Structures are given as structure tokens and as C-alpha cells.
Amino acid sequence: MKDQSRKRHIAKTITWRIVGTIDTIILSWIISGDPMIGLKIGSAEVVTKMLLYYFHERAWFKINLSKEGEVLESRKRHIAKTFTWRLIGTVDTMLIAWIISGDPLTGLKIGFAEVITKMLLYYFHERFWYKLNYGLSKRNKEDI
């Protein structure tokens, strides 16, 4: 069971990073006006975001948010995960964008722009994975 959940979390990490990196590259390019800055920011984020996302997934796997003993309904849980991940991801993006562009304002602009796009993309990514049984030995609420 434990190995299966790790495989699932690694697969989710990789698929989310692909979606997230493409979004970051496009937003960074549009905001900075320089496609190379977009590529540099997106490339730098790949490693930091994969590590942060993996640990975020592991933490949420261990958290059993419940209301009077019942596991929190999946949509509410996914919304809560979306907000916690977005906070972590946005701070990471702002710092990387600031370092690469040399301009803190560019970092802030990119970070704020991606709050909206990434939250929507992340929510749909979570819903997609919720419907998949990959990495789950059996489907029960503790696995989600």
C-alpha cells in the first residue's frame, strides 16, 4: 500500500509539473516580454517545484481532515489542497522570477498572475487524479 501511494504521488508530481511549467513559461514570457526569461524561470522551477509538490502530497496523504470522524468530502479537500499548494508554489515562483529577472516587481507580477491560472489548473488536475485508481490497491477515502 505504502509503495503504491508513493508511485501515485510521484506520477501526480510529474504530471502536475508538466502542466505547471508550461503555464509558468507562458506567463513569465508574457509579463517579462522575453521568451528566454520565461524559459529560464520555468526551467529553474522544475526541480524546486517537484520537491515541494512531492512533500506537499505526502503531507496531505497523512492529514486526515475530518468532521466528527468522517473524512472530509473530496471536493472540499481538493479545494483546501489547492490553496495550500498555491501559497507554497507562488512564493517559490516569486523568488525564482525575482532572482532570474533581477526585478522584484517582475517576480510579484508573475506570482500574482499565476495564482489564478495555477489554482484553476491544479483543481482540475486534482479532480482528474481523483478519478484514476493508479497507485491505489483499493479505492477508499484514506487513499485520496
pLDDT computed for residue 65 by the predictor: 59
CA distance 144 to 130: 7
pTM for the whole structure: 0.72
- The amino acid sitting at 22 is I
Contact between 20 and 49 (Cβ < 8 Å) = yes
Averages of pLDDT over each 10 residues, the chain, 144 residues: 74 89 95 96 90 88 65 75 89 96 96 90 90 72 48
| Other CB atoms within 10 Å distance of the CB of residue 133 | 10
CA distance 123 to 45: 20
C-alpha cell at 10: 510521484
